[in-house]
Structure formats: C-alpha cells, structure tokens
A and B are shown apart, each in its own frame.
Chain A
Amino acid sequence: MSGMNAMGARHPIDLTVNGQRRSIEVFAHHTLLDVLREDLGLTGTKECCLVGECGACTVIIDGRSVDSCLVLGVEADGAEVTTVEGLAVDGRLSAVQRTFLETGAAQCGFCIPGQLVSAHALLADVPHPTRPQVEEGLAGNLCRCAGYEQIIEAVLSGADLGSSTADDGRDQGRLSTPAMGDRSATPDAELAPQ
C-alpha cells in the first residue's frame, strides 16, 4: 500500500488522450473535466451543469461514454480517453461530424461536442441504430436550443454513411439490449402523459 497521500498533494498519472500518451500531475480534487480543459488545454469538452445531467462534458473512457464532471482526474490514471478533439482522424471529420454540419444540427453549438461524443459511443456499439436507440443513446445530452430533431437526423444519416466505426453487423451492440432505447417497452410508459 502506498503511503498516505497528503491533502492537496499532486498525483502523477499516465493516460492516453486521443491516442497520445500523457504523463501529468493532478490534484485529487480536480475532475477529469478540469484536467482536460485546464491541464491539457482540450477545451472542446464543455463545462456546464456539473451534476451529470446535461452531458456537455461527455468523453469516452475505455470505450464507455461518461460525464467527465463526475470523474476525478486521478481516476483516469491508466485510462484511454477520447474527447471531441479525437473524433476527426488525420484532420478529416468523422461521418457524424460531417452530417452534423450538413443537417445544421448545431445552433448555439455549446452542447455539440458532448452530442458528438455520445453519438460516436452509440455508433461504436450499435452501427445502425433505430431512432428510439438514438433518442435513448443521446438522452443524457441536453440541448437548450432544442435542436433535437436535427441532431437525431444527423446521427441517423451519419450511421447510414458507415460512420466512423467498422460495421461488424452487431446491431444489437455490446452495451445495448433489445429494450435499450425503448423504455416504452416497459409497462411504465402507460403512465407517461401522451
């Protein structure tokens, strides 16, 4: 067991961000969001609600999308992190990034980095999602301009373009179930106002 770390001490961490190895020292009480924006200068990831409701700070850690405001930077030691800056490959926008532009999915644009990261995480898992799967996959990303129709359309067209990920035919997805993205399949939906 390591010695007791003092309060306010800096912790050395090694992580891979957008394919690049980074070794930095972070305060334990700084979130991954703080570390990405302030220590690594990756300001594409946005700070907004800070309680895990809006999704503006969404990043992918080891293949799963998370709210980076609810992860300590020190927890990312050894992790592979993808931010919105890592979605384009060799300077070329991903299919979904292009369809976001084409459909005018961005209005004020503030939520878009998080929407894009969630879209990538969804399509990596479910290459050809249904509309309900897109709705549920992006339900953790709020858009105050309420541009949801265009955002959903952009994700669906991005998927049609083959997306940024290989289509291995597993439309069910590792992280999805038949019920996923279709909460109306549960009897609870009867209670929802129509």
Chain B
Amino acid sequence: MRAFAYERPTRLDDAIALIDGHGPDARPLAGGTDLIIRLRDGSLRPRIVVDVKGVAELDAEIREEDGFLAFGALTTMTDIVVDGRVGRDYPALAEAALFVGSVQIRNRATLVGNMCNASPAADTSPALLVYGARIVATGPSGTRRVPLDEFFVRSGVTTLARGELVQAIELPRPTGRRGSVHLRRTRRRGHDLASVTLACAVTPDGVTRLAYGSVGPRPVLVLDDTGLLADPTAPAADKVRRLEMLFAGASPSPTSMRASPQYRLAMLHVLGLRAVATAIERLASGASQ
C-alpha cells in the first residue's frame, strides 16, 4: 500500500476542513471495507485519509426523530440487521443489510459508506430508495438534506459537494401499513456482489414503489400509481407489461464480468414480479410493514 497521511479529527468542523482543504486528494474513512481494498490495489491514491470515527458529532446510533428514523454515519450493517425497529418498519432494508458480505464485513461496513461509495450494485440502495431516504450532508456552508434519488450520479459519483460529509441518513416513518421486500440475484449462492438487486414497497392506496440496481450506472427508483401492480387479482401478463415500461431505463453494462446484459434484464423482470407478489402478501398479512 502506498503511504498516505492519516488524520483522526474529533470535531466535525475539523473533518470538513480537512476534506475541503485537500479536495480530491483526501478520502474519508469509516468502515474501510471498500476504501482499504482500493488503497491497496492503487485504484485510489489519496494523499490523506481522514478517519471520521473519532468525530464527536458522528455516531453509530439509529435514532427515532420526529417523523423519521435516522442512521448515524457510523451505523454498520450489523447494527441494522439486529435493530428491531428496522426489521419492523423497514424489512427490505434489514434483508438487504443481511446480504452485505460476511459477518466480518457487516461488522465494519457502514450504511452511509455504502451510499457514498455509490456502487450501482450496492445492496442497501434499492431499499433506501423505496422508503424515501434522505441524505443529511454537512459541509463548509452548512447542512442540507438531499433525497437519495438525487444523490446518485453514476458509479462512484454522487452529488456531494467538495468538503461535504454525510452525517446521517433519514427514513420517513411509515404513515400506514406497507408491504415491502428486498431481492437480489447473484452468480452463486454464497457471498457475492449482486448481479441484480431490487426492492419493492406496496401501500394500501395501490401505489407500488420499485427500485433496482446493478443494471445501469446508478440505482433507479420507479413508481406505479395506476394500482395495477398492487392489485392481487390483476393478471400476471398485465403486470409483466407494466414492469417492462417501468424497467425501460435499465441499461446493464455489456462489459461486466458478473452477468450479461440480457441475463440481467431477464432476471430484473423475474425479481420484479416476485417482489411485487411478496410485497402484496406482506401487506395483506400485516405481519410486517
């Protein structure tokens, strides 16, 4: 690994000043499960690594705030998997977090890092998108909230400005019953990066939200408010046609090693149909939100 300077600031202002002052030569470090691999393989060569784990304003808490649940910048996948509130109100997120790597990776990898890394295949992005997540970013000119859908640009690129750090992710509290699920497709049964990842949420007003990843440069959120997908009695053929329209924006890379574009698109539709069916079942059973 090439040498770099290392700082572990204790105040958010200081962390921001370091990130801002060094611009592209600085990389923030939280869990490090992506960063350290890239420092070692040389695909990232920062002059300074800013470890944010000592910053007083950043923590691993999952906090109930007025109208939403907030995940601190240091919240790990394990923290999410074991949180009863997440399992109850945001089951697709709990399911997605459980699919991230192994125990060792989940113990270290952070939800915020998974977003900032902006991999199109990130496991937790689709679930966060269907639940309407907001990014809380703090930089030299203050704090702003960005809908997650406006955060992703393309692989590895977000709309974070120079000097901004993500302080938390907020999920609006569900306003009523909801059925939701996360599904993924991998090359093999064990631990693997996703070839297709998809989350679905159905609400009693007939609105279906679907978000899918690993089939284009960034995860995509789409919405069906015709009531068709959410209708348990609607013919499958009609749902397939509706999904084809909703998935029109999928553009899987022709060069990815994990799966061909044709396979990804085919599986996207299979996952879409299954996720809708499961979300409807969960909504009807009322067992989960």
Contact = CB atoms under 8 A, between A and B. Distances in A.
A65 B108 CA distance: 9
A124 to B, nearest CB: 12
B6 A5 contact: yes
A64 B79 CA distance: 11
B82 A176 contact: yes
Contacts of A24: none
Contacts of A190: 274
Given A53-B191, A187-B183, A67 B104 contact: yes
Interface string A66-109: 11011110110100000000000000000000000000000000
A180 interface: yes
Nearest to A117: B104
Interface stretch (B29-37, B67-75, B151-159): B29-37
Given A65-B107, A192-B189, A28 B102 contact: no
Nearest to B17: A1
B191 A64 contact: no
B98 A179 contact: yes
A141 B103 CA distance: 10
Contacts of A1: 7, 9-11, 14, 17
A11 B6 contact: yes
10 contacts: A6-B5, A29-B39, A31-B1, A65-B107, A67-B104, A77-B8, A140-B101, A180-B98, A186-B182, A187-B278
A175 B32 CA distance: 20
Interface in A146-179: 174-177, 179
Nearest to B274: A187
B32 A71 contact: yes
Interface of A: 1-2, 4-9, 11, 27-31, 50-53, 55, 58, 64-67, 69-72, 74-75, 77, 118, 121-122, 136-137, 139-141, 174-177, 179-180, 183, 186-188, 190-193
Nearest to A67: B104
Contacts of B51: 72, 74-75
**What range describes how many residues of B lie at the interface?**
35 or more
Nearest to B41: A51
Given A2-B8, A74-B51, A137-B103, 9 more contacts: A1-B10, A4-B7, A7-B5, A7-B47, A8-B3, A50-B37, A70-B33, A71-B32, A140-B191
A28 B6 contact: yes
B185 interface: yes
A140 B32 contact: no
A85 B6 CA distance: 29
Nearest to A57: B104
B94 interface: yes
A67 B105 contact: yes
Nearest to B80: A177
Contact of B108 (A31, A66, A191): A66
A11 B4 CA distance: 12
B95 interface: yes
